Structure 1
Amino acid sequence: MGRQGSGKPPLVADRRYGGGSAKAAKAPPRAAAPKRRAAAPKARRRRGPLGWLVGLVRIVLHAIWSVVWRAGVVATLLLGAAVAWQASRLPGVETLVDGRARGSVTLLDRSGEPFAWRGDQFGGMVTAGEVSPHLVHAVIATEDRRFWWHPGVDPQGIASAVRINLSEGRGPLSGNGGSTISQQTAKLLCLGRPFRRDEWESEADYEADCRRSTIARKVQEAVYAMAMELRYSKEEILTIYLNRAYLGAGTRGFEAAAQRYFGVSAREVKPAEAAMLAGLLKAPSAYAPTGNLQRARDRAAVVVGLMADQGYLDEAQRAEALENPARLSQTASARMGGAFADWVMESGPEFFTRDTTEDVTIRTTLDPRIQAAAQEALSHVFETQVRAGSKAEAAIVVMSADGAVRAMVGGRQSGAGQFNRATQALRQTGSSFKPFIYAAALDLGLHPMDLVDDTPLCLSIVGSGDWCPDNYDDTFKGRITLTQALAESRNIPAVRLSEQVGRENVRNVAQGFGIGRDLAAGPALALGASESTLLEMTGAYAGILNGGSAVVPYGLIDVTLQGELEPVMGAGGGIRERVIQETAARELTWMMWRVTEDGTGSRARVPGWEVAGKTGTTQAARDAWFIGFSADYVTGVWMGYDDNTPLSGVTGGGLPADIWRETMTRVLAGEVPKPLPMAPPAGGGTSFVDPNGVLADGSGEPFRSTGDPATDAALAEAFGAPQAAAAQPQAESDPVLDALLSILGAQ
């Protein structure tokens, strides 16, 4: 039954779904809504000062944002264009791995082994895929841990570096730079600007400019780095970096550094070695293991920790690397021949040494065994006989009789680049000059057993008055032989002999043997008032050993360009013209042997060996020398202060003779003793008078008589022999010699 009176029509399906034939009932019309009255306009609110300010800020910010995003879009487009343009100009990787402006010099010792390097060493191109994985890991862990993911710049790294710099009180760009390997490579390439000699005073100036850090340079660096990322693969960028990085000791690239420090290729380095090489990137000179091995190891330990933290080393590898740090190769650890190498570089032609643009190999005369002997001897004497803290210096030169230098120690600190006292220090020679006086006399025909007066002497010097030399012991011995005068290094006999033989003759002999400096013009020439270097003096004594011919000291044997078989130049030294007769040289050698046997050089004696030499001490003991030789080697030693301070209690026959003996004992160790090439007077050296009253030597052969019984008696007394009852006259008289002898014996 339907509901009535409800006022609503019944709900049927047709009405719900619009189906059926029945027409939908019309809805009653709605009553029209009453018209609303138009609202009166609202009154405009008044803005206060704060409202005006807020509005103004909104307008400004809106304007800024409009400019910024547009500028950002423009800057991005310009940056992209700059990166793309720069990338299009980049050359192939192969042309960038070796960017040296000068070549390298490798110095080989006499057996062909390398012992020193100069210039910019480049071991050859290696790729990131060829080198040891440990090396790649060490470099990335140390320099750029996000290298494989960033686009050339690392905003996170830059922000971190700026924060660290500011927290440490530095400028935002001072100290940590946050540079990626790509940016460092851009700097190594100097943003593509090559070194040109016509634009830069030196390569150092060019490199200093390339390393400048300014805002503008950082922007250019970032653009260049992103261009490289666009042009090259990550492996190619790393290859450039591995080949161009400077790693101390003149090495460019990890291949050269691995060979220089460890004697292996970069392909073979172990974790400890890789860590030490990567540690050099922070400060190549400060952390170079050839300069301070412990400092380099401490830095390598930090790198090992970074490698372990970033998962490149497991705990066992980390422990192994820390417990067994990298060791230098034998050649690198020896630090041998620095002064010698510097001398060879200075003495060779510039275009093959100091300014070479080629890779050059120089064979030298250096003997590593002898070099080590000289270095050890110097250290031993200073450690055991010189007071701690002494600033005294010393130098040593060892050479063969032909002038081939076998060892050179330029000072107590004998590294490369140090002041070389063997070749650069001009010092007064003192009594070490006296052998040239006796050489001149013997060459003119005098005899080692001839007599000379050791009595007070005064010479008048024009403009200076009288000059009266003294002997070092302030005593006079009267008539003595030339041999005794030299053995005891007596000054007055040397002056008398120089004056009588002629200063010009003495000067010619000294200059002929290689003392090429300006020699003193007055009689003080005889007492070594002139200056010379240790190298020159040792070379001059080599002329005595070799029989009287001059030598030019040399260290360079030949020069070969890399890749060539034939040398481009050979040695420039060796034996030259004869200066004195061989007989005179052999007699002088015998006289110098007496110096070491019973004269001022007795502390230089080497047991079992015949050695000869001469001491030298200058006025106020500012310089002390001992130069001498065995049958094969000539060794010179100088000792003094760089500032010319007098030595205390040191003469040439003291510490210099000790250094000489320690050097030669080591040099001659294991060799069969050889006799000196000397000619004793009439075959002997210890004189006595036989029962027949003839002045003779130990072999029974008579010495040449002076013709004066009193002189012969003095000669016998000088050598500790019984006085001769009568001396045999000479069979034949030499007028020139007799005249000289008469002058020498005159009071």
Structure 2
Amino acid sequence: MREIIPPEWKTRIRHAMLDVDARIDSTLFSSAKGARELYERFSTFMDRFYVGGWKRWVFVEPFSEAATLGLGGLIVLLALAIPAFRETADEDWLKKSDLAVSFLDRYGNPIGSRGIKHNDSIPLEDFPDNLIKATLATEDRRFYDHFGIDIAGTARALVTNAQAGGVRQGGSSITQQLAKNLFLSNERTIERKVNEAFLAIWLETRLTKNEILKLYLDRAYMGGGTFGADGAAHFYFNKSVRDVNLAEAAMLAGLFKAPTKFAPHINLPAARARANVVLDNLVDAGFMTEGQVFGARRNPAFAVDRRDENSPNYYLDYAFDEMRKLVDTFPKSYTERVFVVRTAIDMNVQKAAEDAIENQLRQFGRDYHATQAATVVADLDGGIRAMVGGRDYGASQFNRATDAYRQPGSSFKPYVYTTALLNGFTPKSIVVDGPVCIGNWCPQNYGHSYSGAVTLTQAITRSINVVPVKLSIALGGKEGPKAGRAKIVEVARRFGIKAPLPDTPSLPIGSDEVTVLEHAVAYATFPNKGKSVTPHSVLEVRTGQGDLVWRWDRDGPKPRQAIPPNIAADMAGMMSHVVSEGTARRAALDGIPTAGKTGTTNAYRDAWFVGYTGNFTCAIWYGNDDYSPTNRMTGGSLPAQTWHDIMTAAHQGVEIRELAGVGMGEKLPQTAQAAMAAAGKEKALEIKPGPPPVLTRRGADILVRVEKLLDDAAKTPIKTTMDEPPKGAKSTSSSAVPFSDSFAAATPDSAASAPRKN
């Protein structure tokens, strides 16, 4: 056979590849040889330091292990420190929480303040020596000796608490407490404590000890809505912190631990007992002798009686939190920290809400086993007219109107029916009220019975549970009930509900949790002809010098068209039957068009009524903080009655607006009163009055013109026997509001009867 010789180019490629392979092998061999030689040289060098025998196990091995563990611990510490140091990323961290805000009501009257009092700031050297000693003796005796974390003090607190079987001493240093006040929340978690420790060390590297102590005395919450020792001294003792005596200083120092529990205007005996503990600490720490504190023990401090002061504290807390978020949106170059804020609150409505809740709980709370309630009243722009976050702010500052998530029960159903109307149903659509199951869950109606074929209007009026569940199934179609519930959640989001709303089969009947604030303002979409609004308390922000910074109608978010106007009108018509002939008849207002929905949850843990008129929307919740059941309280009982009382007061002197889908309302029938009179009863059932007649806009304009004529006449010089106005009289001007102070002076109740703008 003839031998086949490969082409020359193939031969060259083969030789090149062999050359590359040889070079790689040579390189690997040389590298391994060089590494081996280096290792041998290193081993020879390290042999000089070899330690054997007992010296190795006593010195070398522990040091080696410590270095290894220390490096690993350092890496872990750096990982844990990252979240803490993120809090300090803002270059303006020192001014981040030092807002000073004075709040006004919607008519410009002062209602309270929050934040640090910048204008009254006092240098540390002007603080009384006894207050500083009392604070250090009680909160951090080794403050000037540690690096931000008092290891010895923490260990001592752990031992003391373990022996006592509870928390008797706190382990946080003043620097740690300041770090929490500046950067963190009050939640009791390990993560927060770790961040607090890192931030304390960071603060110690940035500030001097005196600066840290000064910030602590200025920014700690001291109860009663006050921040800082000077603000607390003014609030509790009506004097500057410069002038407090030892007994008062001990009482102030005792507030740092638990300002709510030991606030003297709430519980003076507890405050004095705590002050006595502070005096003991002064002696134990060696800062004072028993003889020096004897006078303070014999003559304890008295606090100013502020029980008659009615400050809307829950509202102010909410407004201050909103203001802090608002300031974060201002340009970074803006350094102003003192503001005057006009809010949407109406103090008449606020007082009526507080009184209504207190009266109902005092009369019926024990019978119904209900201890707490919350309410929000809002106008149709989303402005919060009144807010009650609990029965007693002094006992608990937790705002149940904004921070408590509770099951809304059937008051959630309007979102379900709205979704149905958006997807082809009508108020007259027929749905069969009969057994239905989703998996192993089978909803039951309140009376464990079924009504058969009912319209959607009848279903919402009777608060039938099965119908909303069947609607969720029908809305899902071929995709299943889950898709139907997703549509319901999407509609609720359009209304302004931001709560999580996890997907569960029972979502259509209100098993997911919402807040009173969101629920109340979401209902404003119905009387707003389908436009959803944003809840807010701030109407206008000005600097301390009066310069306008921000205004809601100019800078706030605008209403959004959530649903078509005809759907909103249909829903209002359906929900009006709930009040006129359904589960919320106690909420009916005489002559005022009203609509709403009751809500009652499993085991009667929550009772709601959320309703609206053409002027306002209002949500009421009753229940218990520990989620214990009430005694068969339903939304149509105390919630509906409370809603009636609040809204009757809210509509005093207000021009009643028409409610689309309902009309202008009718006078309530007085059949019950007539029947009792016919039966010979001496006392008939009291029918609560509706709003008084109000002036039209034309009538108000006429009064303004009359006022101007009176002003002109007053300016004309006329010789009389009395040249000076009566003492206490107020002058008027042509730029005054339609009802001037002169009219108010003539008619003391005119402030309540004059029409208010909505």
Match of 2:525 among 539, 543, 547: 543
Distance apart, 1:382 and its partner CA: 0.8
Match of 1:349 among 308, 313, 325: 325
Q: 1: CA distance between counterparts of 2:519 and 2:218?
A: 44
Checking the alignment, whether the CA contact within 8 Å between 1:395 and 1:422 is kept in structure 2 is yes
Checking the alignment, whether the CA contact within 8 Å between 2:584 and 2:640 is kept in structure 1 is yes
Alignment partner, residue 642 of structure 2: 659
Match of 1:111 among 102, 107, 111: 107
Alignment partner, residue 448 of structure 2: 474
Distance apart, 1:391 and its partner CA: 6.2
Distance apart, 1:561 and its partner CA: 4.2
List aligned pairs for 1:334-373, cutoff 5 A. 334-338=310-314, 340-342=316-318, 344-345=320-321, 348-349=324-325, 358-373=337-352
Checking the alignment, whether the CA contact within 8 Å between 2:407 and 2:511 is kept in structure 1 is yes
Checking the alignment, whether the CA contact within 8 Å between 1:289 and 1:295 is kept in structure 2 is yes
Q: Across the two proteins, how many residue pairs are aligned to each other?
A: 484
Alignment partner, residue 455 of structure 1: 433
Distance apart, 1:628 and its partner CA: 0.5
| Residues 123 and 280 of structure 1, relative CA distance in 2, 3 Å threshold | farther
Distance apart, 1:203 and its partner CA: 13
List aligned pairs for 1:603-682, cutoff 5 A. 603-668=586-651, 670-672=652-654, 674=656, 676-680=658-662
Q: Does 1:534 align with 2:512?
A: no
Checking the alignment, whether the CA contact within 8 Å between 1:244 and 1:252 is kept in structure 2 is yes
Q: 2: CA distance between counterparts of 1:452 and 1:638?
A: 31
Q: 1: CA distance between counterparts of 2:395 and 2:336?
A: 21
| Residues 567 and 583 of structure 1, relative CA distance in 2, 3 Å threshold | same
Distance apart, 1:407 and its partner CA: 1.7
Distance apart, 1:468 and its partner CA: 3.4
Give ranges in structure 1 of 5+ residues lacking alignment.
1-98, 145-187, 190-194, 210-219, 222-239, 301-321, 687-747
Q: Does 1:404 align with 2:383?
A: yes
Q: Match of 1:349, SS?
A: helix
Q: 2: CA distance between counterparts of 1:101 and 1:574?
A: 24
Question: TM-score scaled to structure 2, two decimals?
Answer: 0.52
Match of 2:358 among 363, 379, 383: 379
Distance apart, 1:548 and its partner CA: 0.8
CA deviation profile, 1:552-575 (whole Å, cap 9, x unmatched): 211223444444613167587555
Checking the alignment, whether the CA contact within 8 Å between 2:101 and 2:114 is kept in structure 1 is yes
Q: 2: CA distance between counterparts of 1:521 and 1:283?
A: 47
Checking the alignment, whether the CA contact within 8 Å between 2:322 and 2:537 is kept in structure 1 is no
| Residues 378 and 685 of structure 1, relative CA distance in 2, 3 Å threshold | closer
Checking the alignment, whether the CA contact within 8 Å between 1:371 and 1:406 is kept in structure 2 is yes
Distance apart, 1:546 and its partner CA: 1.1
Q: 2: CA distance between counterparts of 1:344 and 1:325?
A: 26
CA deviation profile, 1:430-475 (whole Å, cap 9, x unmatched): 2111112222333455443x1423332324x4xx35x433221122
Alignment partner, residue 95 of structure 1: none
Q: 1: CA distance between counterparts of 2:196 and 2:109?
A: 35
Match of 1:593 among 549, 563, 576: 576
Distance apart, 1:383 and its partner CA: 0.5
Q: Match of 1:431, SS?
A: helix
Q: Does 1:497 align with 2:475?
A: no
Q: 1: CA distance between counterparts of 2:392 and 2:199?
A: 26
Distance apart, 1:663 and its partner CA: 2.3
What amino acid is the match of 1:454?
A: V
What amino acid is the match of 1:349?
A: K
| Residues 258 and 414 of structure 1, relative CA distance in 2, 3 Å threshold | closer
Q: 1: CA distance between counterparts of 2:517 and 2:219?
A: 38
Distance apart, 1:343 and its partner CA: 5.8
Q: Match of 1:402, SS?
A: coil
What amino acid is the match of 2:454?
A: I
Alignment partner, residue 399 of structure 2: 420
Alignment partner, residue 497 of structure 2: 515
| Residues 574 and 614 of structure 1, relative CA distance in 2, 3 Å threshold | farther
CA deviation profile, 1:576-621 (whole Å, cap 9, x unmatched): 3212221221221122111011101112223443321101122332
Checking the alignment, whether the CA contact within 8 Å between 2:575 and 2:596 is kept in structure 1 is yes
Of the structure 1 ranges 506-515 and 450-459, higher mean CA displacement relative to structure 2 is found in 450-459
CA deviation profile, 1:654-674 (whole Å, cap 9, x unmatched): 222222223223333x33572
Alignment partner, residue 311 of structure 1: none
Checking the alignment, whether the CA contact within 8 Å between 2:591 and 2:667 is kept in structure 1 is no
List aligned pairs for 1:4-153, cutoff 5 A. 103-108=98-103, 109-124=105-120
Cα-Cα RMSD: 5.4
| Residues 363 and 352 of structure 1, relative CA distance in 2, 3 Å threshold | farther
Alignment partner, residue 578 of structure 1: 561
Checking the alignment, whether the CA contact within 8 Å between 1:396 and 1:408 is kept in structure 2 is yes
Q: 2: CA distance between counterparts of 1:245 and 1:638?
A: 34
Q: 2: CA distance between counterparts of 1:115 and 1:203?
A: 39
Checking the alignment, whether the CA contact within 8 Å between 1:105 and 1:362 is kept in structure 2 is no
Alignment partner, residue 24 of structure 2: none
Checking the alignment, whether the CA contact within 8 Å between 1:609 and 1:673 is kept in structure 2 is no
| Residues 606 and 340 of structure 1, relative CA distance in 2, 3 Å threshold | farther
Q: 2: CA distance between counterparts of 1:685 and 1:346?
A: 40
Q: 1: CA distance between counterparts of 2:248 and 2:325?
A: 33
| Residues 207 and 107 of structure 1, relative CA distance in 2, 3 Å threshold | farther
Q: Match of 1:396, SS?
A: strand
Match of 2:537 among 555, 561, 564: 555
List aligned pairs for 1:169-208, cutoff 5 A. 201=196
Q: 2: CA distance between counterparts of 1:378 and 1:680?
A: 28
Q: Match of 2:342, SS?
A: strand
| Residues 126 and 506 of structure 1, relative CA distance in 2, 3 Å threshold | closer
Q: 2: CA distance between counterparts of 1:583 and 1:685?
A: 26
Q: 1: CA distance between counterparts of 2:462 and 2:182?
A: 62
Checking the alignment, whether the CA contact within 8 Å between 1:435 and 1:588 is kept in structure 2 is yes
Checking the alignment, whether the CA contact within 8 Å between 1:115 and 1:337 is kept in structure 2 is no
Alignment partner, residue 394 of structure 1: 373
Q: Match of 2:611, SS?
A: strand
Give ranges in structure 2 of 5+ residues lacking alignment.
1-93, 133-173, 176-180, 184-194, 276-300, 477-483, 669-758
What amino acid is the match of 1:457?
A: P
| Residues 469 and 248 of structure 1, relative CA distance in 2, 3 Å threshold | closer
Q: 2: CA distance between counterparts of 1:343 and 1:361?
A: 12
What amino acid is the match of 1:419?
A: F
Checking the alignment, whether the CA contact within 8 Å between 2:461 and 2:582 is kept in structure 1 is yes
What amino acid is the match of 1:615?
A: T
| Residues 342 and 685 of structure 1, relative CA distance in 2, 3 Å threshold | closer
Match of 1:524 among 490, 501, 506: 506
Q: 2: CA distance between counterparts of 1:381 and 1:346?
A: 30
Q: 2: CA distance between counterparts of 1:595 and 1:479?
A: 18
CA deviation profile, 1:63-87 (whole Å, cap 9, x unmatched): xxxxxxxxxxxxxxxxxxxxxxxxx
Q: 2: CA distance between counterparts of 1:246 and 1:439?
A: 47
Q: 1: CA distance between counterparts of 2:406 and 2:398?
A: 14
Q: Match of 1:639, SS?
A: strand
Q: 2: CA distance between counterparts of 1:202 and 1:637?
A: 42
| Residues 103 and 631 of structure 1, relative CA distance in 2, 3 Å threshold | same
Q: 2: CA distance between counterparts of 1:457 and 1:679?
A: 32
CA deviation profile, 1:180-233 (whole Å, cap 9, x unmatched): xxxxxxxx99xxxxx999xx9599969999xxxxxxxxxx99xxxxxxxxxxxx
